[in-house]
Amino acid sequence: MKKLNSLDDLARFSQHSQHLNALKNSNEAAILVSVDPVCIAKGAEAIKDALVAALADAGLGNIAVYEVTHIGNPEKEGPDILVYPRETHYVRLVKADVPEIVNAIKTDTVVTRLELPLPVVKDEELHDPEPKEVRVILESIGKLNPLAIEDSIANGAYGSLAKVLGEMQPDEVIETVLASKLRGRGGAGFPTGLKWKFVRQAPGDEKYLVCNADEGDPGAFMNRKVLEGDPHAVIEGMAIAAYATGARQAYVYCRAEYPIAVNTMNLAIDQARRLGLLGENILGTDFSFDLEVRMGAGAFVCGEETALLASIEGGRGEPRVRPPFPAQKGLWDKPTNINNVETYANVPKIIGRGVDWYSSMGTEKSKGTKTFALAGDAANTGLIEVPFGITLREIIYDIGGGIRGGKKYKAVQTGGPMGGCLPEKYLDLPVDYETLGQAGSIMGSGGMVVMDEDTCMVDIARFFMEFTQDESCGKCIPCRVGTRRILETLQRICKGEGKPEDIPLLKELCEETKQDSLCGLGQGAAGPVISTMEHFMAEYEAHIYDKKCPAKVCRDLIEFSISDNCTGCTSCARYCPTNAIAGERKEKHVIDSSICIRCGICHNVCKFDAIVIE
Amino acid sequence: MPEPAKIRDPLDMPEQRRVIDRTIDEFMHLPGAAMVVLNNLQGRIGYITKPMQAYIAERMNVPLSKIHGVVSFYSFFTTEPRGKHVVKFCIGTACYVGGAEQLIDKTKQVLGINPGQTTPDGMITVEVCRCVGACSQAPVIVVDDLNHGKMQATRINNVINQILQSEAVSAA
């Protein structure tokens, strides 16, 4: 692969890549050879030379042979080539295979022993957009091959970087992003342009750029999809941010739970570097910039920016007091710009299509679009992207298809473990940073878990508190002790051991944990408890006073039995994990409640609605 | 009677020792190297014992307290070998709402072990983990890095059997 040494080189490479892309739909004969480093190590270059020579010998010198960064899995299938117009994928080639392949081209046949069709991958997470969606960040995902940089460049990737390098001063870039009113997609919604300005203005020559890809909120997977599906949008956005802020080195901090995202990013970075889109003197300009991926190791708190920096520095991911903010004192005490994956991915779009286009979407204070991970009891789950200002009802009912199984809506949980649960009365709320905050939840990074009537809100509060208590790093006392006391209280209530004074106690604990904790984790930890107490107090009271779980979830407050509907099919007895169900075939079964752990598997497998929960 | 095989530290096994040395040499000069070295060792060796931590600290010329502090802070680092196969239950919000607990209950019965434990033959370790980010496929279990979505308690037996069968095949 030759480095691109000028803006014109990039334009030419883009045209070349578009030509390669168009081969799929043309009758042109051509051969693509993967020059992935692994394929090269296995002799791809010699195979390419042999192909060119053999084609010439066979009088097929008019068939062009092109190098591409990636075709199939290089480890398992390399060296591999793609032969057009048939689009035949030949794998695990050695030089000796070349004459046979050229002969097949000449006779318009296929060497079946070498052929391995490219897999057709079906994406279960990203459906065709619903009418109310607007896809900007997700636009290209699924349509381009994230493992081959040519595909992205054919689709316009790095065009905005070229525009910035060729036409704009760093301050102009910052002004443009400011004017677009882009806000941080990590959840807090801080104006991105302003953050960049702070970093640019911070004294010192050594500055860093960090991409927060530690998407730890349970229920959120938008960033993973962007990293896996459109990595070059993130790299380009980071390069533009580096140009604007004056940073020369960047890190993408990605959680270890996302191995595919890490691999995809590493491959994309390597390909960009080989083309000279990263490294020294990018596209022949005096702008130099490089980045690498750093992996987390399973600590949720590392999504907090100061904890994340501590982790990149190689230590325990414990947060510290702000100020000073990372823009003043960040990585290795140098000014550091930290943005979320989606924030960076927005930048090339804004530069490329203009501020007016961007700010035409969204509300007064929240511009553009937001990706959400719709999960839980919605009929259609998966990734969606909507303009700010759309209502929760439109998201859940028009895009999500309502509640699965025709059940009743109970709440939507937004913002992850620091967020809140919003009941039906908020369904017509327009979704943006401010209104979600006023309603007692947060935008967060974009997880949206829909819950139906079978969900116990006290149990959900307990679930989240178990999570935050477990993930509390322990550095500050309000969070370390506060989350534990809240959790113990909730566990007691769920067991039916709650006391009336637990409600004021919970309120007090929540307030103090929120006020006094060091970082966002502790400050937000009480969110799910506060919001469920506000909107679903009746459920708390039922647990405490009546010792009942209205949603029939809390195991200590329910009993399972079998009604006369039972046909004796034995299904429940077979799947019961504690063998608590007995009965003869075709006779009514009985549950031994002293062994029953109330897991509900029998209820799920019974086809005759015979399992009664009380 | 032969002595029962003692579990040897990776440092005492020449092949593993070479991997450890190579990994330290490869990454120790990076800024923030401790996390990178430990992440790679966890991946390549599978666990990081106390003697290994001491060795890493000495080679990298940092206090052992720093290395141990990092190892004990992050949940991905383990100090003991895990089973040959790892079955992880995602207990993120969507998976929890989708019935992850039932799946764990069923697995307890099938394998006779609790999350965090390994079967006595060293074959399967069961773990719970926080959101793996496959929420639209909830509930999800992860078998050796491969996600199984929309899992049901009724399918747990099959999943476990598949692991055991693949082992039986490779043994044969």
Determine the average pLDDT of the residues in A475-504. Answer: 97
If asked whether residues A421 and A471 sit together in one domain, one would say: no
Q: Give the pLDDT confidence of A213-228 residue by residue, as tens digits.
A: 999 999 899 999 999 9
Q: What does each C-alpha distance from A200 to A170, A237, B64 come to in angstroms? A: 9, 16, 38
With b for 16 or more beta-carbon neighbours within 10 A and e for fewer, the A115-145 pattern comes to eeeeeeeeeebbbeeeeebbbbbbbbbbebb
Give the pLDDT confidence score for residue B3 in this predicted structure: 53
Identify the bridge partners of residue B89 per DSSP, sorted by sequence position: B128, B141
Q: What's A95's domain CATH number?
A: 3.40.30.10
Domain that includes residue A337, residue range: 149-359
Among chain A residues, CA nearest to B142: A257
Among chain A residues, CA nearest to B110: A577
Give the pLDDT confidence score for residue B27 in this predicted structure: 97
If asked whether residues A283 and A389 sit together in one domain, one would say: no
Give the pLDDT confidence score for residue B172 in this predicted structure: 77
Mutate to test the interface with B, among A222, A292, A449, A451 (most CBs of B within 10 A): A449
* A136 domain residue, yes or no: no
Mutate to test the interface with A, among B130, B152, B155 (most CBs of A within 10 A): B130
If asked whether residues A210 and A303 sit together in one domain, one would say: yes
Residue A188 pLDDT exceeds 90: no
Domain end position, chosen among A402, A422, A452: A452
- Cα of B68 to nearest chain A Cα, Å: 10
* A133 domain residue, yes or no: no
If asked whether residues A201 and A271 sit together in one domain, one would say: yes
Q: What's A599's domain CATH number?
A: 3.30.70.20
CA distance A611 to A261: 43
The pair of three-digit structure tokens given for residue A313, joined into one six-digit string: 């520095």
* A127 domain residue, yes or no: no
Determine the average pLDDT of the residues in A291-297. Answer: 97
Q: Give the pLDDT confidence of A279-290 residue by residue, as tens digits.
A: 999 999 999 999
B109 vs A221, A298, A578: nearest CB: A578
A314 vs B33, B137, B152: nearest CB: B33
Strand ranges in B44-172 using DSSP code E only, listed in sequence order: 85-90, 124-129, 141-143, 146-148
Q: Give, in degrees to the nearest 5, the angle at Cα B116 between A458 and B21.
A: 130
Among chain B residues, CA nearest to A415: B93
ipTM surpasses 0.90 = yes
Give the pLDDT confidence score for residue A205 in this predicted structure: 93
The pair of three-digit structure tokens given for residue A456, joined into one six-digit string: 């116990």
- The DSSP output letter for A148 is -
If asked whether residues A463 and A446 sit together in one domain, one would say: no
Give the pLDDT confidence score for residue A283 in this predicted structure: 97
* A123 domain residue, yes or no: no
Mutate to test the interface with B, among A255, A599, A606, A611 (most CBs of B within 10 A): A599
The pair of three-digit structure tokens given for residue A331, joined into one six-digit string: 């990585």
- Cα of A6 to nearest chain B Cα, Å: 31
Give the pLDDT confidence score for residue A475 in this predicted structure: 96
Give the pLDDT confidence score for residue B6 in this predicted structure: 59
Among chain B residues, CA nearest to A596: B105
If asked whether residues A396 and A522 sit together in one domain, one would say: no
Residue A348 pLDDT exceeds 80: yes
pLDDT tens, N- to C-terminus, chain B (172 residues): 455 555 689 999 999 999 999 999 999 999 999 999 999 999 999 999 999 999 999 999 999 999 999 999 999 999 999 999 999 999 999 999 999 999 999 999 999 999 999 999 999 999 999 899 999 899 999 999 899 999 999 999 999 999 999 988 888 7
Among chain A residues, CA nearest to B111: A577
Phi, psi of A492 (to 5 degrees): -65, -45
Determine the average pLDDT of the residues in A33-49. Answer: 96
Q: What's A520's domain CATH number?
A: 1.20.1440.230
Given the DSSP bridges, would you call strands A30-34 and A81-84 parallel, antiparallel or unpaired?
antiparallel
Q: What's A154's domain CATH number?
A: 3.40.50.11540
B133 vs A221, A297, A299: nearest CB: A221
* A502 domain residue, yes or no: yes
Percent of chain A clearing pLDDT 70 (strictly above): 100
Give the pLDDT confidence score for residue A557 in this predicted structure: 97
Give the pLDDT confidence score for residue B130 in this predicted structure: 86
* A78 domain residue, yes or no: yes
Determine the average pLDDT of the residues in A242-266. Answer: 97
If asked whether residues A476 and A415 sit together in one domain, one would say: no
* A414 domain residue, yes or no: yes
Give the pLDDT confidence score for residue B2 in this predicted structure: 53
* Structural domains counted in chain A: 5
How many helical (H) and strand (E) elements, i.e. helices and strands, does chain B have? 7, 4
If asked whether residues A209 and A332 sit together in one domain, one would say: yes
Give the pLDDT confidence score for residue B168 in this predicted structure: 87
With b for 16 or more beta-carbon neighbours within 10 A and e for fewer, the A417-428 pattern comes to bbbbbbbeebbe
- Cα of B18 to nearest chain A Cα, Å: 23
Residue A75 pLDDT exceeds 70: yes
Q: What does each C-alpha distance from B107 to A402, A573, B117 come to in angstroms? A: 32, 16, 12
If asked whether residues A397 and A536 sit together in one domain, one would say: no
- Which of chain A's residues have a Cβ under 8 Å away from the Cβ of B153? 575, 577, 599, 601, 604-605
- Which of chain A's residues have a Cβ under 8 Å away from the Cβ of B96? 218, 463
Which of A99-113, A362-376, A432-446, A560-574 has the least mean pLDDT?
A: A432-446
A449 vs B70, B97, B134: nearest CB: B97
* A551 domain residue, yes or no: no
A315 to B69: CB separation less than 8 angstroms, yes or no: yes
Domain end position, chosen among A332, A359, A386: A359
If asked whether residues A566 and A505 sit together in one domain, one would say: no
Q: Which residues contact A381 (CB under 8 A, 6 or more apart)?
A: A374, A375, A400, B94, B135, B136, B138
B102 to A599: CB separation less than 8 angstroms, yes or no: yes
If asked whether residues A331 and A377 sit together in one domain, one would say: no
Determine the average pLDDT of the residues in A389-417. Answer: 96
Mutate to test the interface with A, among B28, B105, B135 (most CBs of A within 10 A): B135
Determine the average pLDDT of the residues in A501-513. Answer: 97
B153 to A605: CB separation less than 8 angstroms, yes or no: yes
CA distance A29 to A27: 6
The pair of three-digit structure tokens given for residue A55, joined into one six-digit string: 């084609």
If asked whether residues A531 and A515 sit together in one domain, one would say: yes
Give the pLDDT confidence score for residue B55 in this predicted structure: 98
Phi, psi of A430 (to 5 degrees): -70, 135
Give me the DSSP letters along A347-371.
HHHHHHH-HHHHHTSB-SSSBSEEE
Q: Tokens 């020792």 sit at which residue?
A: B17
Determine the average pLDDT of the residues in A15-27. Answer: 94
